[in-house]
Structure 1
């Protein structure tokens, strides 16, 4: 997805491979972006990145961070 096509919601969206050993943040696999948003809401985390691996059955990788302390 090009930068031009990305919604302005603060979530980075990319396509490509995902290496779980390189990722230090919390992550989860999901079937869709909507599921990523639901997981974030249910866990109290902030969804910061979505990776579309195009690998079935769960092609979407959701990357989460804690909300900053206010």
Structure 2
């Protein structure tokens, strides 16, 4: 069985970006704080438009924020 996993560096980037809070990031990208919490924890994969908004909020390319791993068994 294949395992697909989307990981992210949002938490690290928030702290590298002046200790941005989850609420501040949520406000910048137009979602709730709970959505940011779920994305950071890997419990929720953002839509492509939201992933681009998050990347733009940090001034980074999307591939520097999110990493998709496809592990086939």
* Fold match by TM threshold 0.5: no
CA radius of gyration, larger in: 2
Question: Is the helix fraction higher in 1 or 2?
Answer: 2
Question: Is the strand fraction higher in 1 or 2?
Answer: 1
TM-score normalised over the length of structure 2:
0.31
TM-score normalised over the length of structure 1:
0.32
Greater relative contact order, per chain length (Cα 8 Å cut-off, separation 6+): 2
